[in-house]
Structure 1
Amino acid sequence: MARAIHVFRTPDRFVAGTVGEPGDRVFYLQAVHDSRVVSVILEKQQVQILADRMGLLLEEVHRRFGTTLPEDADVDTSPLETPIDAEFRVGTMGLGWDADSGAVVVELLAVTETELDESVVLDDTEEGPDAVRVFLTPIQARGFATRSEMVISAGRTPCPLCGEPIGGEGHICVRTNGYLRTPGFDPTSWFDEES
């Protein structure tokens, strides 16, 4: 079967979003142009890495080429377009700068059972996994990174003692010798202000 490469040269939206409750969320990236919508599934850590690296790439582009970068960007806070039909699960991600168009290029490749050759990333070869390739202006890239950070931080609250996420059914904290705590438990209540 021929490889499908979904290219968005001037997307209206490129956003990260989730479906589900904190602790049981599924993460998506979604590219939209007019009525065309392509969604892919990925892991929370992949969203974090992409947002972090996008920020670093923008800083490097500014340093090397003097490209003016936006300090802040309007953040797209709208929900994902529905229905959400994922094209594939993301395995490999590529990120680059296209100096000709002045755009950040994001490529998302489907999970494969075989190891990928780096030459497949950002290439239109017939062989290889399905891909989504999106070209973002610097302001779109900054907006993507900002929204991604918001989506990631909207999960479960971290335990103030150990930093692990606290679920709806409580939390077994290693700092409290493993005692199960119920929702609403405040571990800071263990500390007496007078002692």
Structure 2
Amino acid sequence: MELIQQNPDIAAYLAVGEAVDHDHPTVRAATERLSAGHPDAYSYAKAAYEFVRDTIPHSQDSGDLRVTWRASDVLEQGTGICYAKSIAYAALLRARGIPAALCYQRLADDDGSDPVVHGLVAVRLPGAAEWARQDVRGNKPGVDAQFSLGEERLAWTARPEFSELDYPVLYAEPHPAVLAALQAAPDRPYLWQTLPTEL
């Protein structure tokens, strides 16, 4: 699948934003800790991926009712859904000077019902000609996402026969529908009723 940059300027995918707040002390501190043992861009990107995937539980899996949407809040509170965890991973990458974009899938039940938008991150390592999508949602039985710059190792593969699809656009900040849902939700059960079903 060809990924399309929303902004042709790569600097947009390094910028500080309201959600991707990688200038925040919490994000900077996490970046420094991860950088200490992973000096090159590849090993850092993989370590940051595994840190977000494995040490910040998906709030649906853990039963956490809190809703986070800023990268700094995800790291401070240690919780988030796929969108929030993706924002945190993008911030950790950008803090290290690695371009990172937010991107999305539309997933559904096996009969095509109950569609929902799922959040991913696309990373572009130095010297790479292409973006590589990553899924930091968090693994569980039936889900085995891995960091990969070659063949994608996402939590789910979009199945067109069930009305699922990969959105090709790379966003510098969360899609407005995603951000609005996160910001408006007082808790995760409310958020679950208001998640975007398409972009």
**Larger Cα Rg: Structure 1 or Structure 2?**
1
Higher strand share: 1
Please say whether Structure 1 and Structure 2 have the same fold, judged by a TM-score greater than 0.5: no
Whichever structure has more helix as a proportion of its residues is 2
